[in-house]
Structure formats: structure tokens, C-alpha cells
Amino acid sequence: MHGVQDPVVPILGQWIRETPGTISLGQGMVSYGPPVEAMAAARAALAEGEIHAYGPVEGDRALVEALAVKLAKENDIEVGERSRVVVTAGANMAFINAVLATTDPGDEVILLRPYYFNHEMAIVMAGCRPVGVDTDGRYHPQPEVIRRAISSRTRAVVTVSPNNPTGAVYDRAELAAVSELCREAGVYHIHDEAYEYFVYDHAQHVSPGALPGASSHTISIFSLSKSYGFAGWRIGYMVVPSALIESINKIQDTILICPTRVSQRAALGALEAGGSYCRRHVATLAVVRQTMADHLSGLTGICEAPTPEGAFYCFVRTRSSLAPLELAERLIKDHAVAVVPGSAFGEQRGCTFRLSYGALDPGSANIGLSRLSSGLRALADRA
């Protein structure tokens, strides 16, 4: 555990508390809460005695069946004899389930840099070695670079799309190329789709688990946390090859016993509201995204970032010679705006940071981005 990186968000949180009035462009949250259908379902569940007892390890039957319908309708993923749905305590638990079920200590798991830091932390906790490979200038995968990183100890390649921390959305050809690499190498393709509804302009979300021949080596991970304003309810789910279900049940029974049952009932209500509930909020996020792009376009020569195609993140590369964590500290303490340093995401190329625009209304976001712009100008001059 001493080899696992310290979570950066609590460090930033302490600096924010010490700087009252700070606007956070840091932690990945949405500004809205669950749909009324979810709240009504949770209230109704509390009156039922069985909700207080343990449930099935894989999740309550009603939710598992509803998720199978959603997966077939929205993701073209058919759940049957070859694959199974497992309800989890969020996408993070689904990921640790996947790692523990597919690796032995000393094995390797490939991550695309910059990567989601909790993925790297989970791999290290499992006694495995994360192998970071660079993405291209738009933060999209480079299949040949991934191919060269595969070794005899590789057990999985991880992709995230829409991406945290970059906002990149991988197209069908890119995901198909990664899937085929995994099939050829005999390793699993673990794909995180927590931000499936958060896409902009002409970008389209693709589920690689739906590709022909992919179901036997693909582990697909989903979450209700962002799309339904559900973060604290801790409900995610995964689609896994049937060959892994025995191992995953052992892991989940040991760590969790069963997903929280009242949260599962709320999840049923959320699914009743459907993906359109999230898409209505994405329209507001698109306005904030444009505000962010406008601010960053005024910082030519100071920073650069591809306009995000999805999620609600932007990964920014600055001209500053400051270390990423030092830059984040100075932005909070001197300019009252918070971002997450790029070093937390394994990015080693210069001074970078992730900003999140999901939790703010357009007015607050504009103030925060104005502070960020002035802060970056000041720190670039100091560098």
C-alpha cells in the first residue's frame, strides 16, 4: 500500500478549505441530482422489509434484467450465455473486480496516458504493474504503441471513452483496433464507459463489447454516478465474459456481499427516466464547454488543449516550468481556482492539469475560468 500514490483530491481539498471562496474546476461531479423517478423508487423501497436483508451477490434480479434491456437497446450488447451483468458499488468497484479476476501478482495491465488515477491505484493494490503508453496529440489511442507494450505478462488493456481525464471520444475504428490487438494477444480489453451519454457535436459513443467476436475478451464497465446525478448512491455495473463470473462473485462477495439494495431500487427508477434525463443536462454542459473553449483560446502561447469531444473534462498543457502540483497549489492559494495536476494521471510530459466543468452553472464557470486565465498568465510570466 505504501507504493500506491496518495489520492490528490484530498490534498487539493485541504488547500481549498484554507482559501475560502475558491471555485473548483477539480473533482469530477455533475451539478444536478437524481431524477424524481429514482427518489420515488427509493422511498417506496424503504417500506419493504426485504430491502433490509442481504441480496444476490450479482445484484437484484429486477435491476440485472433492466440493465440487460438497456444494454441491448442502447449499447448493442447482448447479455446471454456468453456474458453476464454484475451490479457493483460504482464503476471503481467494477474495475477492481476486473483486475482481481484477470491477474496474478506481478502481471501487467496497460493504461493509456494520461489515465484515470484510480485505475492505476487499483492495479498497484492488486500487486500488478501498470504499464503506461502515450496517446497521440488529441489523446486518442495509438494501436501500434499499445502493441509494442504488450508482453508475456500483460493481462489486459484498459480504455476509457468518453475519456477521463481528457474528454477524448474514441471512434469505432480505434476501439476495434484495440479490441483486435487484445484478441490476438489473448488478453482482456477492459473498457470504462461511465460517461457514455456525455458527447458533443458529431462525436458518438461506441461500446467495444458490441463489436463482432469481442464478447469473449471484453469487460465493459458502466456507472450511474454521472449520468443520473447518482454519485453518492454508489451503483455501477459491468458486463463480463461468463468464464469470469465465478471469480468475480468471489471478489464481490468478499468485499461487498451485495450491492446496496435501496440504491439498486433507486437505480431502477433512474432507468425508467432513461438516458434522455442525462442528455437534457448535457445541453447545459455544452454551453459551459464553449465558455471554457473561449477562455482557453485567449491563452495562445501560454497553454494548449484539444477541445473535449465528450465527458466534462479538458486536459491542458501549459508553458509553465512549474511542477504540476506546484501549479495547482499556486492557482488555489493565489487565484482561488482549483484544478487537478496532470501528474496524478501519469502524464510526465511537461506541466499539465485537468479541469472539470461538470459541477458548475454557466455563471460560476465563467468566473472560475476567468480566474484560471489570469492565474495562468501570471504563472507563465513567473516561469
- Rounded to 5 degrees, what are φ and ψ at 191? -120, 125
**CATH number for the 36-273 domain, one of 3.40.640.10, 3.30.300.30, 3.40.50.620, 3.40.50.2300?**
3.40.640.10
| Average pLDDT value for residue range 21-29 | 92
Concatenate the DSSP letters of all residues of 235-268 into one string.
-EEEEEEGGGHHHHHHHHHHHTSS--HHHHHHHH
CA distance 205 to 339: 26
Q: What is the pLDDT of residues 135-190, one digit of tens each?
A: 999 999 999 999 999 999 999 999 999 999 999 999 999 999 999 999 999 999 99
Check if 8-33+276-382 and 36-273 are the same fold: no
Cα 351 to Cα 57, 237, 300, 355, 371, distances in angstroms? 44, 35, 16, 13, 18
Q: What's the pLDDT tens digit per position in 293-318?
A: 999 999 999 999 999 999 999 999 99
DSSP calls for 356-377: E-SSS-HHHHHHHHHHHHHHHH
DSSP letters spanning 284-339: HHHHHHHHHHHHHHTTTTTEE-PPPSBTTEEEEEES--S-HHHHHHHHHHHHSEE-
Strands (E), the chain: 23-24, 83-88, 108-113, 129-134, 154-160, 188-192, 218-223, 236-241, 303-304, 313-318, 337-338, 340-341, 351-356
Mean of pLDDT over the chain: 95
Sheet holding 236-241, edge to edge: 83-88, 236-241, 218-223, 188-192, 154-160, 108-113, 129-134
Could you give the CA distance from residue 361 to residue 332 in angstroms, rounded to a whole number? 20
Q: At what angle do helices 261-273 and 36-45 cross, to 10 degrees?
A: 150
What is the dihedral sign for C-alpha 298, 304, 308, 312? Answer: negative
Q: How far apart are CA 203 and CA 169, in angstroms?
A: 7
From the centroid of its chain, how far is CA 382?
Answer: 34
Q: Which grid cell is 157?
A: 488493456
Q: Is 171 helix (H, G, I), strand (E, B) or coil?
A: coil
Whole-model pTM: value is: 0.96
Confidence at residue 9, expressed as pLDDT on a 0 to 100 scale: 86
Which three cell numbers, joined as nine digits, stand for 303?
A: 497553454
8 Å CB contact between 95 and 119 = yes
Q: Enumerate residues 6+ apart whose C-beta is below 8 A from 166.
A: 114, 135, 139, 306, 308, 313, 314, 315, 354
Indicate whether 19 pLDDT > 90: yes
The residue extents of the domains of the chain are: 8-33+276-382, 36-273
CA separation for the pair 98, 243 (Å, rounded): 12
Give me the mean pLDDT over the 219-237 stretch: 96
CATH architecture of the domain 8-33+276-382 equals Alpha-Beta Complex (3.90)
Whether 383 has a pLDDT exceeding 80, the answer reads: no
**How much is the average pLDDT of 335-355?**
94
β-bridge partners, 157: 110, 189
Residue 282: what pLDDT? 94
